[in-house]
């Protein structure tokens, strides 16, 4: 496989790892088109998106029958990557209309869960939604240009990031990042983290495009997150817990100190960070370790694991999502399982049934990344 010394941010060259293993451009493009169609336009067995009225739309968590800020921000990132402005604007208008909070402790953030009719099920945010919203909005601004609010994408992104950093400074409220260690929190009013929320490649771009007074914060946050992931990922297995303390040790106070659903995203995030920035050779080591850990396991037998790799009886709820993120780690990996991880992904169809939402979001991101189509859009 081809190894590129500098990241795509510097070269504007993106690896097409599917082509590197011999898949034709036509087959790759057909898979991307078909996957988008099934998720956004397909039948009740595959679709996770729905139009709402004349100009809005939402992503459905099909396992919980709600709309989550995570999924909405994912849908926006998918739409901007694939140049679908109509779907992007529909999702963003639904989000801004129904999820944005204008009062209380979390004013300026987005409610993490709503009913399908737009009524809020929760009045707290989930930071993984906010960070994806911000970068998707920046990319939309750069790709399509800004319009009248709420489609003044760039200002919306900058304002959101300002809230994430400064909320609570003038009174009630909480920032989403700890102001001292620059680490993202699981929720604003707690003091621990979720390793899968750490997106240093996003923060590098926030450091360029946020308000000038916030840019140094985001540069430090990128460095802090890369250092944190080294602490949170097990040195032998590469597995990370769902929740972790600021020193990287698993936070099992509520039973989330093991490798399970949230944790799957860590491998994908590290792969994309390496593809975009090539900032830390440790990411190569990590990708190799996690692919090695899963090399002798079949998707139908994936389980919950301690970070040391000890299996529980409880099987994975999202095996397709897990194999997709392990394949996306190949963007950084140079070990013996980089190719086979991609081949397993390519041979696996999208998931159908009630639990398909999370798996297929991770699936489409992996498909974009491994085909060289998860890109940075510059001003």
Choose among 141, 181, 182: nearest CA to 379: 141
**Catalytic residue from among 61, 128, 262, 280:** 262
Asked if residue 150 has a cis previous peptide bond (ω within 30° of 0), the answer is yes
Query: Which residues partner with 56 through β-bridges?
Result: 52
Contact 91, 79 (CB under 8 A): yes
Alpha helices (H) along 107-214: 127-144, 153-166, 200-209
Torsion (CA) 60, 62, 63, 67 in degrees, nearest 10: 10
Residue whose structure tokens are 């950084």: 332
Catalytic residue among 70, 131, 194, 275: 70
Sign of CA dihedral 11, 205, 231, 359: negative
First vs last C-alpha separation in the chain: 31
Give the C-alpha separation, 198 to 242, whole Å: 12
108: left (phi over 0), alpha (psi -120 to 50) or beta: left
Residue 62, judged by CB atoms within 10 A of its CB (0-12, 13-18, 19+), counts as: buried
**Distances, alpha carbon 121 to alpha carbons 61, 151, 332, in Å:** 13, 25, 38
User: Does 70 participate in catalysis according to the annotation?
Assistant: yes
User: For 305, phi and psi rounded to 5 degrees?
Assistant: -135, 150
Cβ neighbour number for residue 287 with a 10 Å cutoff:
27
* Residues taking part in catalysis: 70, 262
């Amino acid at each position: 496989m081809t190894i590129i010394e500098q990241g795509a941010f510097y070269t504007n060259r993106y690896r097409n790892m599917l082509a590197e293993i011999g898949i034709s451009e036509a087959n790759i493009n057909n898979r991307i088109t078909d996957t988008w169609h099934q998720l956004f336009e397909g039948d009740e067995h595959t679709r996770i998106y729905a139009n709402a009225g004349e100009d809005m739309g939402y992503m459905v968590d099909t396992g919980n029958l709600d709309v989550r800020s995570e999924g909405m921000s994912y849908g926006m990132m998918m739409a901007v990557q694939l140049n679908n402005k109509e779907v992007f604007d529909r999702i963003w208008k639904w989000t801004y209309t129904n999820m944005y909070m204008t009062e209380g402790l979390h004013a300026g953030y987005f409610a993490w869960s709503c009913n399908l009719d737009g009524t809020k099920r929760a009045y707290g945010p989930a930071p993984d939604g906010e960070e994806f919203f911000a970068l998707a909005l920046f990319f939309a601004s750069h790709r399509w240009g800004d319009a009248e609010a709420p489609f003044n994408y760039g200002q919306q992104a900058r304002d959101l990031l300002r809230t994430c950093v400064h909320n609570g400074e003038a009174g009630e409220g909480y920032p989403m990042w700890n102001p001292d260690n620059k680490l993202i929190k699981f929720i604003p009013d707690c003091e621990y983290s979720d390793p899968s929320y750490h997106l240093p490649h996003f923060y590098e771009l926030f450091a360029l495009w946020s308000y000038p007074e916030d840019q140094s914060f985001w540069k430090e946050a990128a460095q802090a997150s890369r250092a944190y992931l080294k602490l949170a990922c097990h040195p032998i297995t590469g597995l990370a817990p769902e929740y972790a303390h600021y020193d990287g040790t698993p936070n099992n106070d509520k039973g989330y100190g093991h490798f399970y659903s949230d944790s799957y995203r860590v491998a994908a995030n590290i792969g994309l960070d390496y593809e975009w920035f090539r900032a830390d050779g440790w990411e190569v080591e990590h990708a190799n370790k996690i692919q090695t850990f899963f090399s002798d396991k079949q998707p139908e037998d994936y389980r919950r694991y301690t970070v040391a790799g000890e299996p529980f009886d409880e099987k994975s709820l999202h095996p397709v999502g897990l194999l997709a993120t392990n394949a996306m780690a190949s963007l950084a990996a140079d070990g013996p399982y980089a190719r086979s991880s991609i081949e397993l992904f390519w041979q696996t169809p999208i998931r159908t049934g009630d639990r398909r939402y999370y798996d297929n979001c991770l699936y489409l991101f992996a498909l974009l990344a491994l085909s060289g189509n998860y890109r940075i859009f510059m001003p």
